[in-house]
Amino acid sequence: MNKSELQEFLDEKVLLYNNPTFIESDPIQIPYLFSIKEDIEIAAFLTATIAWGNRKIIINNSKRMMDLMGNSPYDFVMTHTDSQLGKLDGFVHRTFNSIDLQTFIKALQHIYVNHEGLEMAFAKNQQPLSMQPSIAAFKKLFFEINHQNRSTKHVSDPMQGSAAKRINMFLRWMCRKDNAGVDFGLWKSIAPESLSCPLDVHSGNVARKLGLLTRQQNDGKALAELDAALRQLDPKDPVKYDFALFGLGVFENF
């Protein structure tokens, strides 16, 4: 396919998958359980944090996190006691365990108390057409609290070569607003044109088959290559093509 044919093909797939029916089988359904901005973004951040592996298990474990916080994540983050944190004991999703969840609750409180909340923590370090330096800066802010080193692996650092798939997915959820009914578009301080595609095995393999990506590793360099290719197709909203790449890989075995 030439460029115009490729764009037409991908645009059709975006329309196919970027609609409310996508929510039914995707972890983004968890923040949709809430209506308050802070509840939505905390639920989204924690859900995105554990978004690897089987999607049904991701959704079930994300619901369990919300249940453990009384289904009021912002209130729990801001007012939790040590005994309430103890109720998180036993939670586990793959390598993310109760120690990590307790650390994340404390770190989120730190972000809201000292850094004006999640949106500002990401927005104040953003650069034109790249959120990757901002993600790296966010990780430093997030772990300013006392913490065990084991928990730091659950926040990616693009400056260390990571594609930061889960945080880029979280940022897509928060920042894109196209009225299609999937992404929230809650955050107005970060432009969709600065976002990066959540690069994983599925989207990476599809991108290679379509000639959008040549690098074989799904790392930070591959992300930069894919971002550049997608921005040629739509410089204002390049990450809408995540729906096409993911859908082709997961639902169509492309």
The pLDDT assigned to 127 comes to 87
Q: Is the pLDDT at 67 greater than 90, yes or no? A: yes
- pTM check: above 0.75: yes
Local confidence band at 241 (pLDDT 50, 70, 90 cut-offs): very high
Q: Which residues of 30-54 are buried (b: 16+ CB within 10 A; e: fewer)?
A: bbbebeebbbbbbbbbbbbbbbbee
pLDDT value at residue 225: 97
Is residue 128's pLDDT more than 90? no
Mean pLDDT (the chain) is: 96
206-212 contact pairs (CB < 8 A, 24+): 206/245, 206/246, 206/248, 206/249, 206/254, 207/245, 209/254, 210/1, 210/6, 210/10, 211/6, 212/6
Q: DSSP alpha helices (H): ranges in 21-131?
A: 37-49, 55-68, 73-79, 82-86, 98-114, 117-123
pLDDT at position 194: 96
Rounded to an integer, the average pLDDT of 52-64 is 96
Burial grade of 67 (CB within 10 A; 0-12, 13-18, 19 or more): exposed
Share of residues in the chain with pLDDT > 90 (%) = 96
Question: Residue 179 pLDDT more than 90?
Answer: no
Q: By three-state DSSP, how is residue 130 classified?
A: strand
pLDDT in tens, 86-121: 999 999 999 999 999 999 999 999 999 999 999 999
- For residue 96, give the 3-state DSSP assignment: strand
Mean pLDDT score, 199-215 = 96
Which residue in the block uniquely carries the two structure tokens 């909340």?
117
List, for residues 211-235, the tens digit of each pLDDT value.
999 999 999 999 999 999 999 999 9
Segment 115-136 shows an average pLDDT of 94
Torsion of CA 235, 46, 254, 244, to 10 degrees: -30
**What is the crossing angle of helices 165-175 and 37-49, to 10°?**
160
Mean local confidence (pLDDT), 144-169: 96
